[in-house]
Amino acid sequence: MSASRFSARNTLKNSQAETNENEFETSQNPIHYPPPRTPLNSIADPSQCRKESAELLADSLYKLEAVRGGLQSERKLEDSSDRYGNVGFNYVTPRVVSRGGKAHSEPNSAQSSPARNVSRISLGGAAGTCAGSRAMQLSGGRGGSFSKVSRGISATNSELYMEVPHFELKEDPSFWMDHNVQVLIRIRPLSNLEKVSQDCCRCLSQESGQTLVWLGHPETSFTFDHIACETISQENLFRVAGVPMVENCMSGYNSCMFAYGQTGSGKTYTMMGDINEMEGNLNEDCGITPRIFEYLFARIRAEEESRTDEKLKYSCKCSFLEIYNEQITDLLVPSSTNLQIREDMKKGVYVENLTQHNVRDVDDVLKLLSQGAANRKMAATHMNSESSRSHSVFTCIIESCWEKDSMTHFRFARLNLVDLAGSERQKSSGAEGDRLKEAANINKSLSTLGLVMMTLVDLAHGKHRHVPYRDSRLTFLLQDSLGGNSKTTIIANVSPSICSAHETLSTLKFAQRAKLIQNNAKVNEDASGDVTVLQRQIQHLKGQLAFFMKHKRFPKPMSSMHSNRLSNSSEVYDSLEERTTGSQKIYLGSKEINCMKATLVGALRREKMAEAAFQKLKDEIELMKHLARQREEKIKQLELLAEGTLSAEKYLMKENNALQEEILLFQAKIDKNPKLTSLSMENDRLSEQLELFQNFYEKGERERLQAELSELRDQVQVTLEGNPTFTRKIENQYNDNIKQLEDCRNMNFKLIR
């Protein structure tokens, strides 16, 4: 869809900007590293906003009435005040208490008629003071005027029901090939109250599927991987953010999705939405989590069916926990509280005594989600009467195993779906007593999360820093998802309302920082048994070959006695195929052929990989030589400078040029050039492989395998001369391997360049 539907952009003018510790620096310098850190939750005080909003609301309502006459009076909007009598966000994500017939969700988007609202809100003398047309100038200091909320933002009278542009989210399947972290912004629609109270004034203007402008002072433009506009459907969001997560998990990558944002910005709506089923199908309002599992199980079924020959089997285990007041509770066994995080060489980071539930279909998952959601601690705050005060983490471990080339392969992936608590400042939520303690803890984990991210960004820039994962439960538990072995999506939820301008800015800044994190995701596949299996195969093949060598001149099929003696195993060569080599007849079982094939292919592959690694090493040496030459050149220049042969001015000019080139290079790195990232990832991967092979060579395994390989190759050739189909197959496979080798060489060449 195009942006043509965007009829008008808010004409928010800058009013005087307050200086504040949270002020965003400049749009030209979006990445900053403030000492010691930028406060994450640099947001205004919505409780103040409430009071001021009430006054402004009255003003707006008068204007509404004036503009629309009695036309709007028929609109039936429900009462928008919360149970504390605050006029707050009247959106509440339906939270399912129980499933099945008993399940009920709370009313979405409460509607209230402006007239009824006016009558309920204490308007003071403000009502009617600005009933005529005027430019609503919101300015002033910290003393409690609206500008405390919309600091630096002033609003003129904008269109009452401004249409926002719609940008369809575009799927990009290649994204995850080059990246490990994706940041997506989701803008929720204005609530009914926001629509009337602020003349639909927005603090955001979306310009494309990737860019938006924060309309404060200074007007700041942000670019992200995706920006989901107000009108984006849950389905579209899932296709762009959810489907790749499932695919990554199926490929054995750990994956994680965070929903971040101030309270009421739509985190729970995004992650869970309405999890009730409608006639066996997921509700169209249901969030990304249930959709992910619906898709995951469909994929699993398809994979299992298409790979029956490999005996592919999947298993999924889920757990659901919350971190509340820095304590971990099992949401599926709520009595199980204060659980501890442990670290283990084999299991990694895990929560001790957290229950895990086997799930076989989306219904099983929906049951767990409903159960957990009902147990999630919620408490009313001034901002959202159904606000989630805890961080929830839904985890699914997806394991698969299959047999191929006489080896058993294991693969696993951990999928974390995290709904964070609201990122607002303590004061903003109007919290007191227990709520204040909660807020402090929420802030602790969120500020640690921010600190961890900042440190990771530093690390990505080559600085040596300690990452304070252990400073909060949240970061300790999710350390793999932050800068570790995971492909991570961060969905930053924002409100477009002018009333949330600074919370929104704060979230955008957080998201922008998150973009710079570099994870190091790896396929979790157990290949440790490979060498042992290979060795066993070689032994087995040796036995067979010895047998064939001895018996090929005899046309009779080998007896079970022979086979037992030679293989010295329970293998019985029962399905023997007859092969003719000239006048000689030999007998081969399909099992033997497969084994030989596997050994041959494996050995060839290893040989080629080793060759590629050698080539890479050679190229690296070349590069080092080149660098050494550059250094020598520089030393010469310095000597000339010291002798006075070269003028300081000339030297500095040269140096300056060189440094500028370097700056450009670094700039490109900072901008996270995807090509560079992908190359560096590839580079890392190859380095690891190289290391593997170096170990391989040092143990003399290569020589041994090479000798065996050539012996086997000869034997197989002789043995299979009579079977042209199979020989052709081997040849094709060989050619494929040669092609792969070529590709690797090219890749190495590119990497070096």
Q: What does the binding site for ligand ATP look like in residue numbers (CB under 6 A)?
A: 91-93, 108, 188-189, 261, 263-269, 384, 387-388, 421-422, 493
Least distance CB 268 / ligand ATP (angstroms): 3
At which residue do the structure tokens 């070959």 appear? 545
Residues 114 and 122: their CA atoms lie apart, in Å, by 14
In angstroms, rounded to a whole number, what is the distance separating the alpha carbons of residues 48 and 360?
49
Per-residue DSSP letter, 128: T
Distance of closest approach, residue 271 Cβ to ligand ATP, in angstroms: 8
Nearer to ligand ATP, 91 or 297 (CB): 91
Using CA atoms, how far apart are residues 626 and 628, in angstroms rounded to an integer?
5
Contact yes or no for 375/77 (Cβ under 8 A): no
Query: Which residue, 40 or 421, is less far from ligand ATP as judged by CB?
Result: 421
Q: Compute the residue count for the chain.
A: 753
Q: Which is nearer to ligand ATP, 265 or 481 (CB)?
A: 265
- Reduced to 3 states, what is the DSSP secondary structure of residue 617? helix
Provide the token pair at 405: 């080339």
Count of alpha carbons within 13 Å of 528, Cβ hemisphere only? 4
Instruction: Provide the minimum distance between the beta carbon of 394 and ligand ATP in the complex, in angstroms, as a whole number.
Output: 14
For every residue of 315-361, which 3-state class applies, written as one string? EEEEEEEEEECCEEEECCCCCCCCECEEEECCCEEEECCCCCEEECC
CA proximity to 137, closest of 148, 146, 126, 149? 146
Residue written as token pair 């402008």: 213
- List helix spans (H) across 644-699: 648-670, 674-698
**48, 144 contact by CB (below 8 A):** yes
Which DSSP symbol is given to 484? S
Q: For the CB of residue 93, give the shortest distance to ligand ATP in the complex, in Å.
A: 4
First to last CA, the chain: 40
Tell me the binding residues: 261-268
Q: How far apart are CA 90 and CA 383, in angstroms?
A: 9
Instruction: Name the token pair of 435.
Output: 């709520």
Single out the residue of 283, 280, 304 nearest to residue 363, CA to CA.
Answer: 280
Q: Choose between 44 and 127: whose C-beta lies nearer to ligand ATP.
A: 44
Least gap, CB of 186 to ligand ATP (angstroms): 6
**What gap in Å lies between CA 596 and CA 590, rounded to an integer?**
10
The residues pairing with 344 across neighbouring beta strands, listed in sequence order, are 348
CA distances from 308 to 79, 302, 402, 589, 595 (A): 58, 10, 9, 22, 19
In angstroms, what is the minimal distance from the CB of 269 to ligand ATP? 3
- Measured from the CB of residue 107, what is the shortest distance to ligand ATP in angstroms? 9
3-class secondary structure, 685: helix
Specify the amino acid at residue 494: V
Please name which of 547, 543, 671, 648 lies closest in space to residue 595, comparing C-alpha atoms.
Answer: 543
Helical spans, DSSP H, in 495-529: 501-514
Q: Which residues are annotated as a binding site for ATP?
A: 261-268
Closer residue to ligand ATP in complex, CB, 386/592? 386
Tell me the two tokens of residue 645.
């042969």
Residue 302: helix, strand or coil by DSSP? helix
At its nearest, how many Å lie between ligand ATP and the CB of residue 610? Answer: 53
Q: What is the largest CA-CA distance in the chain?
A: 112
36: cis peptide before it, omega within 30°? yes
Contact between 244 and 296 under an 8 Å Cβ cutoff? The reply is no
Q: Which amino acid is at 379?
A: A
**Closer to ligand ATP at the Cβ: 265 or 748?**
265
What b/e string do you get for 394-406 counting C-beta neighbours within 10 Å, with b at 16 or more? bbbbbbbbbeebb
